[in-house]
Structures are given as C-alpha cells and as structure tokens.
Amino acid sequence: MATTTTISQVGEFPLISSMVGDLTMGQAVTLGPGDDGAVFQVDGSAVVSTDVLVEEVHFRRRWSTATDVGRKAVAVNVSDIEAMGAVPVALVVGFSAPGDLPASWAREFMAGMTAESQKAGVSVVGGDTTGGPVVSIAVTVIGQTAGMAPVRRDGAVPGDEVAVIGQLGLAAAGLALLGRGFRSPRAVVAAQRCPEVPYGQGRVAAKAGVHAMIDVSDGLLADLGHIAEASGFAMDIDTAKLDITESVRTVGMATGVDPLTWVLAGGEDHALAATFAPGTVPDGWTVVGRVLPPDEAPDPTVLVDGQVWQQERGWTHFHS
C-alpha cells in the first residue's frame, strides 16, 4: 500500500525549494525567492493589496484541487490591483498548513499559483511557510501606477454610467451546487473554484478615464455600495441590462433560487464594476445602471430598478 509523504516529513526548507523551483521572474524583478527579501522595480506609485484565504471559509479541499486553490489565491488578489487601474508586478505568499498535509498538495498549490500568476502577468517573488490547524493562505500583491493616477472608489458623479465586465452570479451558483453534492454545470463549479478575472481591463478602464472602480468580491450591490458611500451619490441598477448566463439560470431552476439574487448579491466572481462619463465606457463593458443626482435619491445607496432591494446585498464576514 502506497504511503503519502506529508509536509512534516519533507521539512520546511526542502518543501520551499520544491514549491519555488519552477518560478520565473518578470523583467521588473531583480531578485526573487532565496534571500531575506525580494527586489523589484516599480514604475510610478506602488499599489499594495492583501487577501487571506482560509480552508472551510474560502475553499474546501474536498471541493477544490490544490491547483484550483493556488489559482484562486492569485486571482482574488490581483483583481484588487486591477480595480485600482494599476499593473500587477509582484506578489508574496504566506502559507500555513497542518503537518499531515500531503507534500504533493503543497506542490500542486504552487503550480496553480504559478499558472495563474503567468496569466495575470505578475511574479511570485517570495513568501513564508508555517504550521497551523488548517490551510491558510495570505497573499500580498504589489502593482504599479505606471504614469497614471490610481483609480479610487470616491470618484463617481451624477450622470455617470455604471458598467461591469466579467460574469456575475456564477460563483454563487457553483457554491449552491457544490453544497448539494453536484459538480455540473461545469461553468459555475469552475467559477466557484477559481474566478475568471478580466485581467488587463482595469488598466483599460483607467485609460478610458474611469471615475470610480471596484472588484466584485462580495456581491454587485454590496461592492457598488462602497462606491456610492465613498462618492456620496446613489446608483440605480437596471436589471434588464444584467447578463444572466444560461448555466446560472439552469442552477436557479434546479434549486428554486431566483438567479437574479446571485447576480446582484452572490459575490466571489471578481468581475470589475465602475462608473464612467457617458459615452466613455470601453468596449467589452456592459452598462447596467447610472449614478443619480441627490434630488432623485438623497442617500448614497444602490437601488434596483428604482427600488430598495429587500434581500441580502452581499457577503460580509463576522455577521451573525
């Protein structure tokens, strides 16, 4: 009977060596893993963002492969850099796991990170490992503004068009399926395991003069709500303009859930949502609403078809 080699049997430094052996560095990186710190060049201001993924909160090993988790760790972090209109340059990862974790899982996790980082155009330049009760991953991404101002959340103004790029509702539909023990439609399950971030579109939006932008991690209404609150103006979403994919509709029918709730409040899709001056929305983006003047809606909230949305608006941690 074959035995599984665990990370405790391999040891910390041999494990690290096996995890970083296939990494390649971008042109901006002058010193990658192996020293006390990484060294890289940044064009303009540096933009930094951190996300944490915890087993049984953000992923489940029985649902996702190690490669899926590695890809997701990169994707959910780089999407924040995209939302700032910046270009991702480098990332570091903190990896904590129980000693009985198969060493092969750690290597496959790193293979997933490597594949997704290449797709996103970012270099994995270092990190740290430690022991812990469950698999926990903390990733910090550094981006560069490269001659442009960072895009903030507080720039929306009345008359702006609200637009999105990337698919909405798939990750939540996938979670509903996985929770019921199903594995298809594959599109929604894949979106839950690792989101398809619209890489490069944050920069496209910045060059188009975007006023405010955010990545849709907690749900469209919740995240647009952050823009509304920061900018001081309300928005109105026209649900007739939202794209509800056939796979999301299929899962909604099978589970008895209105698919619109996943599109508006599902979260974890990591699409981009932004506001633009009329006529400046880039190709590929879909206009789904507008920013309202104070005389139409005095409170900085997000309306749905002109009405207050009465259901859940998105995900929050530490809720009761």
Question: Which residue numbers belong to the known binding site for substrate?
Answer: 58, 268, 315
Indicate the annotated binding residues.
Answer: 36, 49-51, 58, 80, 127-128, 153, 215, 217-218, 268, 315
Q: Which residues are annotated as a binding site for Mg(2+)?
A: 36, 49-51, 80, 128, 215, 218
3-state SS string for the chain: CCCCCEHHHHCHHHHHHHHHCCCCCCCCEEECECECCCEECCCCCEEEEEEEEEECCCECCCCCCHHHHHHHHHHHHHHHHHHCCCEEEEEEEEEEECCCCEHHHHHHHHHHHHHHHHHHCCEEEEEEEEECCCCEEEEEEEEECCCCCCCCCCCCCCCCEEEEECCCCHHHHHHHHHHCCCCCCHHHHHHHHCCCCCCCHHHHHHHCCCCEEEEECCCHHHHHHHHHHHHCCCEEECHHHCCCCHHHHHHHHHHCCCHHHHHHHCCCCCEEEEEECCCCCCCCCEEEEEECCCCCCCCCCEEECCECCCCCCCCCCCCC
Paired sense of beta strands 39-40 and 29-31, if any: antiparallel
Tell me how far apart the alpha carbons of residues 36 and 61 are, in angstroms, rounded to a whole number: 31
Q: Nearest 10 degrees: CA dihedral of 154, 197, 139, 203?
A: -50
Q: Which amino acids are annotated as binding site for ATP, given as ranges?
A: 127-128, 153, 217
